[in-house]
Amino acid sequence: MLITDPPYGRGWHQGDTGTARGWRSDRHRGIANDTDTDTRDAALAMWGDQPAVVFGDLTLAPPSGVKLTLVYDKGLDAGFTGAVGGYRRNVEGVYLLGNHGSSLGGRSAVLITTVSAGGNLARTTSHPHTKPVDVMIKLITAAPGGTVADPFMGSGTTLRAAKDLGRRSIGIEIEERYCEIAAKRLAQEVLAL
């Protein structure tokens, strides 16, 4: 099962707004391979028609072969920077690709996090696009069984959620500093409740 948050293709970098508000002293220079959707599309082409869950920017073209688009609602304390026309960027697309099967009823197509990070989840992991573990757990729980793969693992949230659920996972990340963060997160023990 592929569950990933790839470069969206919008050329993201942190502007001066975050620095001016004192959120961090070092501006993030951007996400590797984020100039267009080619990197995302190449990775998905290698995956084929196997089930996949892929995050993306709703203002850009979705990957080909989308079966359903979910909406990830980041919550009230997200999306303050980059507002347009008085509206925040507090939602993202989550695309289901490949064979997921179909049925009657089901879960809501709106994923809402219960995690509040005081306005910036990125501060908790040092990655600018960290997803909350509870959202990743919802996606993995709804996914077919087997190993979870994330070729754009960032700070390792998908792998952390898979570990919490007792699922095997494989992650790949181009930025060494994020690999180190992910390794530390995965080294934390999962306590049985």
- Provide the number of structural domains found in the chain: 1
pLDDT band at 27 (very low <50, low <70, confident <90, very high): low
**Distance set, CA 124 to CA 120, 131, 179 (Å):** 8, 11, 15
pLDDT band for position 15 (50/70/90)?
Answer: low
Whether pLDDT at 100 is above 90: no
The domain that holds 44 is classified in CATH as 3.40.50.150
> For residue range 59-92, what is the model confidence (pLDDT) as tens digits?
999 999 999 999 999 877 676 666 788 888 889 9
Strand order in the sheet with 169-171: 110-112, 66-73, 91-97, 52-56, 2-4, 148-150, 169-171
The domain in which residue 142 lies consists of 2-187
